[in-house]
Amino acid sequence: MSQKIRVGIAGYGNLGRGTELAIAKTPDMELVGVFTRRDPAGVSLVNKNVPVYKLDDIAQFQDKIDVLVLCGGSKSDLPEQGPALSALFNTVDSFDTHAKIPEYFEAVNNSAELAGKTSLIAIGWDPGLFSINRLLGEAILPEGATYTFWGKGLSQGHSDAIRRLPGVKAGVQYTIPVDEAMEKVRSGTMPVLSTREKHKRDCYVVLAEGASASEVEQSIVTMPDYFADYDTTVTFITEEELKRDHAAMPHGGFVIRSGKTGTGTNQVMEYSLALDSNPEFTSSVLVAYARAAYKLNQMGQTGAKTAFDVPPGLLSPKSAADLRKELL
């Protein structure tokens, strides 16, 4: 590709910063600018040569951006920004509220199709890469069961739930897959596993001054929807220990399909990720799919798409001939 793909970033938190770093590693792309709801003067990028603009002014850049990477959150940002911005740009986002993906898809699809744009939604590792591997497992081993394990990884939502509790000054929570459960799955026996049997939760908490450790611990382990259904461990640490040992954002997980072929032959498919930085990896996935969004639009394929709809070859900057020669 002789001409570089011109990319914009909407939103500059952990995901936006990761996207900036990922674009810097892709010679076939260039970052046109970052768009933010904050005061642009107060946003400091890694590359000081990249301009920062107000998100309200983004419509002025329709002829300057080939693909816009949406880096807002799934709870309140993307439900509004996805449909609105897909009417102006080819887009890619990491919407990850699994239960609401169908309705979000329809909203973005209506907007993008009308505008002749291509929007890839729910792109990342779950949903995204894990989704593809769940599909492959079901298609290849129709007789079987699919298991998804998350972790070890820092959960933003559960960490926020801890920090909202009275008596908690700060804290983080890690989701950890249970080794015994994973070994049962890998054995090919297709076990039925409860929520508690699949994952456990480790919490590291800084107490507020004067707070009761026992009361805080009980508040955590009995919290419905977050911890009550899991074996949960609470460890109290200092603020210094939290900053020193828990500032990173690791994550990962496993998708395992256990099934049978022929007259009862056991087969197990497994895909795993071990990530030192969840947002940086997710950003790297978004950038690869931004390339695909641009190519799909050039091919006349408009509307909303998911990871299921993107041929893998479009993710690569290499030609189809080079891919056949080098990777098959």
> Cis omega before residue 198 (within 30°)?
no
What pLDDT is recorded for position 2? 63
User: What 8-state DSSP symbol labels residue 68?
Assistant: E
What pLDDT is recorded for position 257? 97
For residue 27, what are the contacts with CB-CB under 8 A and spacing of at least 6? 317
**Dist. CA 74–CA 278, nearest whole Å:** 16
Task: Determine the average pLDDT of the residues in 56-82.
Answer: 95
| Segment 265-310, tens digit of pLDDT | 999 999 999 999 999 999 999 999 999 999 999 999 999 999 999 9
| Segment 26-35, tens digit of pLDDT | 999 999 999 9
Output 237 or 75, whichever has higher pLDDT: 237
* Residue whose C-alpha is closest to residue 131's, from 23, 274, 18, 257: 257
Statement: residue 1 has pLDDT above 80? no
Q: Are 212 and 167 in contact (CB under 8 A)?
A: yes
**Dist. CA 222–CA 298, nearest whole Å:** 53
Statement: residue 204 has pLDDT above 90? yes
What pLDDT is recorded for position 156? 81
| Segment 317-326, tens digit of pLDDT | 999 999 999 9
What is the b/e burial string over 12-38, where b = at least 16 CB atoms within 10 angstroms of the residue's CB? Answer: bebbbbbbbbbbeebeebebbbbbbee
DSSP bridge pairs for 207: 168
What pLDDT is recorded for position 157? 81
Q: Strand runs (DSSP E) across 29-129, as ranges?
A: 29-36, 52-54, 67-70, 91-93, 118-120
DSSP bridge pairs for 280: none
Task: Determine the average pLDDT of the residues in 51-73.
Answer: 97
What pLDDT is recorded for position 306? 98
What pLDDT is recorded for position 225? 83
| Segment 169-195, tens digit of pLDDT | 999 999 999 999 999 999 999 999 999
The per-residue pLDDT of the chain, averaged, comes to 96
Task: Determine the average pLDDT of the residues in 100-127.
Answer: 97
